[in-house]
Structure 1
Amino acid sequence: MLWTSEGAASAGLAPTIREASADGAFRRDYRLPDAYRPADGRGVRNNLAFESLTRSADGRSIVAATEAALAQDGPIATLDAGTGARVLVLDRSSGRTRAEYVYRTDPITAAPTDPANPYADRGLTELLALNDTDFLAVERSFAGGVGFTIQVFWTTTRGATNAAVRDALTGRERVMPTRLLLDLTAAGTQVDNVEGITWGPRLPNGDRSLVLAADDNFTGFTQFHLLRVRGR
C-alpha cells in the first residue's frame, strides 16, 4: 500500500510518501526532492501538499501531486488565476525522481457570499492514471456561502516541461494541458469535499465504473459518487 501525508508546513514537518504492507507494517519512505521541504518561505504550504497519489499504468512509477504551488513557485489560486501544482513522478523500485511537471488549476469558481465564512480556495485534489502519460484530475473549489465545485479534467504529461532539476519554477514551463470532462455541480449533483477518484468494478454491460469520494470534511459523513464510463 502506498500513502501520502501532507505533513504540517506550519510546524516545519515535510510531506511524505510511504509504503506499507497490507497489514499496515512500515516498509519504506520515498525520498522527496528538497524543493518540497518547508523552510524559510519555501516548500509546500500548510495543508496544500500531497493530495493526489496514483500509480502509472505499467506499475513502474508513483505519481503524486501537491494541491497548490510550492511557496517558491508562485501563489495559491485566486478568483483571477489558478495555481501551479507540482506533479512528482518517482521510480516505484528505486525511489528516484523520474520527472516533475506543472499542473495549473482553473481560478476559484466563485467569490464567498457568507460574511461569517469569507474563505475561498481551489486546488488539485486527486489524479488517476489512465496510461503512462494521461490522467483524470479532480479539481475542488470552495467558497463560503456558495459551497463546493467539483470538476474532473483530462490531462497529460505529453508536451509538458520536465522540471525535475528545478528548485524553483521559472514561470516559463509548459504546463500539462487539460480538458474539462465533467462538472458534478453543474450536473445538479450535491457535492462535498471530493478528494478521491478510482476505478470501480466493470459493469454488467462491459462499461467501467468510476468512483469519486469526498472526505467527511469534519461534517461526520463521507460521500461517494458512482459514475459510468462508456467504452473502456
Structure 2
Amino acid sequence: MRIAIITALAALHIGSVTSIHAADPHGLALSYIGQQILPNETRFNGTAVGGLSSLDYNPRTGRYLAVSDDRSSKNSARFYELSLDLSKFQRSNMPGMAGVVIHAVTVIQQPSGGPFKKNSVDPEGMRFDAARNKIYWSNEGQRGFFGLQHPTVSEMNPDGSHSRDFAVPSYYSPRGASIGIVPGSKGIYDNLAFESLAISDDRRILYTATENGLIQDSPPANAYTGSRARILAFDIASGRPGAEYIYEVDPVATAPALFGPFATNGLTDFLAIGDRQFITIERSYTPDAVIPGNGTGYTVRLYYADARKATDVSGLESIAGRRIEPVRKTLLLDMTELKNTDGSLLDLGNIEGITFGPDFDGKRTLILVADNNFARTQLTQFIALELDPISRLISP
C-alpha cells in the first residue's frame, strides 16, 4: 500500500526569503537562508575537495565534519573539518567561498592501520558522537566492476584510526551476480546501500538506511515505481543490530526520455528528531530532465518520517509478499521551489548530507551538502534553511 503524502503546500515570499509551510498537523516552516557553491577544483592540503556526502555539526567547536565519498581513488578516503558562516551565505547561484573555511583533512584508516587501498571503500555517511568522542561512518560496499563488498558501519577515533565495527545482518551482503538482477542474487544493489547515518536523541541508537531496497525486497526506484528501503538500528553500546523498518522511497521525480539515460531516486541521509522520528532527504536525478529554472537534473525533497507504528522487520531476509506497515511520511519541502534574491530558482546539486546547524536569527537551522561526484558540471554546495519551530514537528 502506498503512503499518502501531504502535498498541500503554500509558498510565502517574505522579502527575498522563501518560506514553505507544510500542511497540518505539524505546521513547520522551512525558510531559505542562502547557499554557497564552492568553485570547481577546490583543493585543500593536496586533496580534491569534493564528493561531500555527509555533514555533521559539533556545537562545542562550531565546526562541521564532512566525509568525502572518494573511494581512495583521487586521494585516500578522508573527511574534512570546516566552518560555515551563515551570515555570509547568498541567495544566488554564483559560486564563492565566502563563509566557508576548511580547517583540516583526516585520512580514514583501515582496521589494520593505514589508508584504504584504491577502490576498496566507499565512505558515505558520518556522525560525530561528542559524548563518546567517537565518529561513526558508513561504507556503502560494492556490487559491480570491482567485485562484491559488504556494506559496513564502523566507529573511529577523531584521528581517523579504527575503533570497531557494528554488526550488519548478513542479508545485506551482496551475493550472486555482480550486476544484481540475475535470479538468485541478494543483498544490496550497487551504489544504493548505506548512504546515511543518524543518532537518536538519547544517544543510545545509531541508525543507518539503504538508499533503495535490498534485491530480495524490491527493485530499485524508477519513473513508475518506488523502492522499499530499510532503516536499520544499532545499539551503540553493544554494536548489535536492532529494529528494522521499511521506508518507501518515491518513484523518480521526472521520467527520462524514451531509451534515455540512467535515472534514480533514493534516501540519501536523515536526522533523528524524536522517538523513531526523522527528517529525511530523497534525492532524485534524471540527467536529461527538463526542470524549469533548474538545469541540474536533481529534485530534492525533505520529509517528516515516523516509524513508531511501522512493522519491525528485523531478522527477515526478505519482505517480499509480506504485509508490512511502512514508515509514515509527510512532505515538508520540495526544494525545487526555493528562489534566490533575483527570483531565479535555486540550482540544486546532489544533496546527500543533512545536519542541524547553529541558531540563526534566533531560529534552529538545517544545513545540507551536495556531492559533486568530482564532476565539473556538478556542485559542491552548502544550503542553509531555518526551522520555525522544530517543536511542532515532533509528535508526542
TM-score range, shorter chain: over 0.9
Q: Within 5 Å, which residues of 2 pair with 1:201-220?
A: 201-205=358-362, 207-220=363-376
Structure 1 unaligned runs (5+)? Answer: none
- Mean Cα displacement is larger for which, 12-21 or 180-189? 180-189
Measured in 2, the distance between the counterparts of 1:140 and 1:151 equals: 7
- Aligned counterpart in structure 1 of residue 310 of structure 2, from 160, 165, 168: 160
Q: Structure 2: which 5+ runs fail to align?
A: 1-134, 177-184, 290-296, 339-344, 391-396
Over the aligned positions, Cα root-mean-square deviation in angstroms equals 1.4
Shift of residue 219, structure 1, vs aligned partner: 2.3
The percentage of aligned residue pairs carrying the same residue is 39
Higher relative contact order (CA 8 A, sep 6+): 2
Residue in structure 2 matched with residue 2 of structure 1 by the alignment: 136
For residue 196 of structure 1, the aligned residue among 350, 353, 375 is: 353
In 2, are the aligned partners of 1:77 and 1:122 still within 8 Å (CA)?
yes
- Runs of 4+ that moved beyond 3 A: none
**Residue 95 of structure 1: how far off its partner (Å):** 1.2
Q: 1:204, CA displacement in angstroms?
A: 3.4
Q: Does the 8 Å contact 1:67/1:123 carry over to 2?
A: yes
CA separation in 2, counterparts of 1:228 and 1:174?
32
3-state SS, counterpart of residue 47 of structure 1 = coil
CA distance in 2, matches of 1:143, 1:204: 36
- Answer whether contact 1:113 1:143 (CA < 8 A) is retained: no
> 2: CA distance between counterparts of 1:38 and 1:76?
15
- Which residue identity does 1:19 align to in structure 2? E
Provide the secondary structure at the position in 1 that maps to 2:352: strand
Matched-pair contact (CA < 8 Å) for 2:275–2:308 = no
Aligned to 2:198: 54
- Tell me how far apart the structure 1 counterparts of residues 364 and 158 of structure 2 sit (CA, whole Å): 26
Q: 1:113–1:144: 8 Å Cα contact kept in structure 2?
A: no
Aligned residue runs from structure 1 range 72-151, under 5 A: 72-113=216-257, 118-146=261-289, 147-151=297-301
**Distance (whole Å) between structure 2 residues aligned to residue 204 and residue 153 of structure 1:** 24
> Given the superposition, is the C-alpha separation of residues 114 and 169 from structure 1 closer, same or farther in structure 2, using an over 3 Å criterion?
closer
CA distance in 1, matches of 2:223, 2:161: 43
